[in-house]
């Protein structure tokens, strides 16, 4: 089955949100401060991606409903 643009955006949005959760969790579990800070930064970067994907998803989701 071929995925629509909306479907693709949703898949990547969910992936980005999961990355945020994972990196935040990992940043709290590791003992090395450098690694913890890198994971925190990755969580932040994934959060930026998730926000942009959420904006795109809303645009495409509302277009599909019209």
Can you give the pLDDT at residue 1?
Answer: 78
Q: How many domains in the chain?
A: 1
Size of the chain in residues: 66
Residue 64 has pLDDT above 90, yes or no: no
Residue 46 CA: distances (Å) to CA of 1, 13, 19, 50, 54: 28, 10, 6, 6, 12
Residue 58, domain extent: 5-65
**Could you tell me how far CA 21 lies from the centroid of its own chain?**
9
- 6: its two tokens: 């909306």
Residue 66 has pLDDT above 70, yes or no: no
Can you give the pLDDT at residue 11?
Answer: 97
pTM over 0.75: yes
Beta carbons of 50 and 17 less than 8 angstroms apart: yes
- pLDDT, tens only, 21-58: 999 999 999 999 999 999 999 999 999 999 999 999 99
């Amino acid at each position: 089955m071929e995925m629509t643009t909306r479907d693709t955006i949703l898949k990547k949005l969910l992936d980005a949100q999961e990355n945020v959760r994972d990196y935040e969790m990992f940043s709290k579990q590791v003992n090395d401060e450098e690694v913890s800070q890198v994971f925190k930064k990755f969580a932040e970067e994934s959060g930026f991606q998730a926000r942009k994907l959420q904006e795109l998803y809303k645009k495409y989701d509302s277009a599909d409903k019209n």
